[in-house]
Amino acid sequence: MDIALDLGTGNIRICVENDGKVVDQPSVISYDKTTNEILAFGDEAYRMLGRTSNRIDVVFPLDSSVIAQSGLVEELVNIVLCEVCQSRVVMPRVLACIPGEITEVEKRAIVNAISSFGVRRVLLLESTKAAAFGCNKDIMSPHGTMIADLGAGSADIAVLTLGGVSVGKTIKCAGNAMDEEIIKYARRKHNLIIGKAMAQSCKEAIGTVMYENEERTFRLKGRDSVRGLPKWVDVTSSEIMEVIFDIAKNIGIAIADVLEDTPPELLADIHTDGITLTGGLAALRGMKDLVENATSIKVTIAKEPSDKVVKGLFKATEYIDEAEAQKNSLNPLMMVY
């Protein structure tokens, strides 16, 4: 049994052979601080954000797609793998994605978290390669393909060819950083204290990184930082654009920097095919236009961009046998444990 596991900062997604996507839950877990008992994970735990007592803590144990709290990540991985692998007679092989720029220590932490479930083999694949597979790109040929996977914790950008990364860059400032900027803005401008869930809802509802003809509004609800009483305020899409624009601009600059370092032959391929955006942040209004303005190259947003990595991981499981046997030097899988 082969399992594709996308351990994202915002969401954890799993594909199992012949079943397609079977788990898609927020990468959040709640536990009792007194007994360390796990109380909930995923959607149920997400609904607890900002609504818990002093005894319960709700945390996102992954930061920029790497492990921040190893014990909680192991618990989270064990819970979701139990949902898809109910029989322990046959130990599964797990293919997991990792950011492009990651240390050996961070790789080992991911492998250890997955291995704690009891698996036969753990294999790793860069998120940009997985996204390319999910978009049906042929990265095994000598042809340049550029993918920018824009997620909650990081933006991974890479030019792929012959099963590997020719040029790549990771920006550890993406969707979550925008949420934090909205939280800071609400407090600084309106004396309003809001939580992460409210900031994320605001970004999804009216967030944009380019000026629009039609102004949209969203009602932020929280606590007055001066009086401590309930308070709400309406914010506009142009306000939010000014708050999150710099983060999006830095992503556009990073994509342009990768292009500057790309060999001319591969750059010619990219100029013809364009740049593909995947990940949840790719769907943010104006992101496509911003990247096109920064690079002067056609940009395409993948259909269902949030699912491309996990679907690509599932397609890449066909290379597991070759990786284990070490038959193909161009195998896209990074390593076998």
User: What residue ranges in the chain does DSSP mark as E strands?
Assistant: 2-7, 11-16, 20-26, 29-32, 38-41, 56-59, 62-63, 66-67, 93-98, 121-126, 145-150, 155-161, 164-171, 192-193, 217-224, 230-236, 275-278, 299-301, 335-336
Amino acid identity at 110: I
* Lookup: tokens for 19: 């079943």
* Lookup: tokens for 253: 């600059």
Q: What is residue 20's predicted lDDT score, i.e. its pLDDT?
A: 66
Q: What is residue 66's predicted lDDT score, i.e. its pLDDT?
A: 66
For the stretch 237-275, pLDDT in tens is 999 999 999 999 999 999 999 999 999 999 999 999 999
pLDDT exceeding 90 applies to what percent of the chain? 55
Architecture per CATH, domain 2-131+310-336, reads as 2-Layer Sandwich (3.30)
Q: What is residue 2's predicted lDDT score, i.e. its pLDDT?
A: 86
Q: Is 13 left (phi over 0), alpha (psi -120 to 50) or beta?
A: beta
- The Cα 84–Cα 289 span in angstroms is 39
* Lookup: tokens for 112: 């250890």
Report the chain's mean pLDDT, rounded to a whole number: 89
Q: Would you place residue 327 in the very low, low, confident or very high pLDDT band (cuts 50, 70, 90)?
A: low
Q: State yes or no: pLDDT of 99 exceeds 90.
A: no
Secondary element (H or E) of residue 304: none
- The Cα 309–Cα 5 span in angstroms is 9
* Cβ burial 175-211 (10 Å sphere, 16+ → b, else e): bbbbbebbbebbeeebebebbbbbbbbbbeebbbbee
Residue with the bigger pLDDT between 232 and 68: it is 232
Q: What is residue 335's predicted lDDT score, i.e. its pLDDT?
A: 62
The CATH superfamily of 137-301 is ATPase, nucleotide binding domain (3.30.420.40)
Q: State yes or no: pLDDT of 19 exceeds 60.
A: no
Q: Would you place residue 225 in the very low, low, confident or very high pLDDT band (cuts 50, 70, 90)?
A: very high
For the stretch 150-161, pLDDT in tens is 999 899 999 999
Q: What is residue 8's predicted lDDT score, i.e. its pLDDT?
A: 86
For the stretch 264-273, pLDDT in tens is 999 999 999 9
Residue with the bigger pLDDT between 159 and 49: it is 159
Q: State yes or no: pLDDT of 90 exceeds 80.
A: no
> If we measure between CA atoms, which residue out of 150, 260, 159 comes closest to residue 209?
150
Domain assignments of the chain as residue spans, ordered by start: 2-131+310-336, 137-301
Q: What is residue 294's predicted lDDT score, i.e. its pLDDT?
A: 95
Among the ranges given (73-82, 171-180, 286-295), the one the predictor scored with the smallest mean pLDDT: 73-82
* Per-residue DSSP letter, 318: G
Q: What predicted TM-score, i.e. pTM, was given to this entire model? A: 0.88
Same fold, 2-131+310-336 and 137-301: yes
Q: Would you place residue 18 in the very low, low, confident or very high pLDDT band (cuts 50, 70, 90)?
A: low
Q: What is residue 63's predicted lDDT score, i.e. its pLDDT?
A: 77
Q: Would you place residue 30 in the very low, low, confident or very high pLDDT band (cuts 50, 70, 90)?
A: very high
Q: Would you place residue 104 in the very low, low, confident or very high pLDDT band (cuts 50, 70, 90)?
A: confident
118-147: average pLDDT: 92
258: helix, coil or strand?
Answer: helix
